[in-house]
Amino acid sequence: MESSVLTELFLPLALAVIMFGMGLSLTPADFMRILIYPKAVSLGLFNQIILLPAVAFLIAIVLQLPPELAVGLMILAACPGGATSNLITHLAKGDSALSITLTAFSSLITVVTIPFIVNFSIGYFIPGGEELKLEILGTVVAVLAITIIPVAIGMLVLKKAPELAKRWDAPFRKISAIFFVVIIIAAVVRE
């Protein structure tokens, strides 16, 4: 897929703005709760990193998908949820701290698991296919720039200027929803 203004500039910027908006309503206590009760994170990571690819593999086998579709399904199953799952959780007033934690951990873990799962899938479904190599440093920098840093800045605004954060919360929720819709429409139109 070729790069475009959408994927190279608008998408990362929109996701960073969305994550900043989430940070406006999060406190360190939200993340401490997750450390004290790690069951949800452990279960979420297990489901996303192990169970989801296993189910996708079984679906590909049972439905006897063509090799390219089987590998595509495995790629989708291997990829972390990303910032859009955080947005949906935030807009639904779910546990944003848990969602962000899962995104951060799964994004870092999948630096190892994506090449393993994809290369296994290519070897199984398309013997002799080309191996995948993933740039680790670029992935870590992207997770920091798009997710962690904007959330931290939003949390800092909440701590230092709680009234400002309260005033900004609703507008940022609306902006986030608009960005989300624009991203989906642009992706559909582009494809």
Question: Which domains does the chain show, CATH number per domain?
Answer: 5-190 (1.20.1530.20)
In terms of pLDDT, which residue wins out, 23 or 8? 23
Q: In a 10 Å sphere around its CB, with 0-12 CB exposed, 13-18 middle and 19+ buried, how is residue 109 labelled?
A: middle
Q: Is the separation of the CB atoms in 44 and 102 below 8 Å?
A: yes
Q: Which two tokens stand for residue 88?
A: 């949906």
Residue 80's SS3 state is coil
Q: What is the mean pLDDT of residues 121-134?
A: 78
Question: What digits encode the pLDDT tens for the residues 152-179?
Answer: 999 999 999 999 999 998 899 888 888 8
Question: What digits encode the pLDDT tens for the residues 10-30?
Answer: 778 888 888 898 889 888 888
Question: What pLDDT score was predicted for residue 131?
Answer: 67
What is the percent of the chain where pLDDT is above 90? 30
Cα–Cα distance, 148 to 125 (Å, whole number) = 36
Question: What digits encode the pLDDT tens for the residues 138-151?
Answer: 777 777 788 889 98
Question: What pLDDT score was predicted for residue 1?
Answer: 44
Question: What pLDDT score was predicted for residue 132?
Answer: 64
Q: Which amino acid is at 70?
A: A
What is the percent of the chain where pLDDT is above 70? 91
Question: What pLDDT score was predicted for residue 35?
Answer: 82
**Statement: residue 50 has pLDDT above 80:** yes
In terms of pLDDT, which residue wins out, 154 or 4? 154
Question: What pLDDT score was predicted for residue 6?
Answer: 63
**Statement: residue 59 has pLDDT above 50:** yes
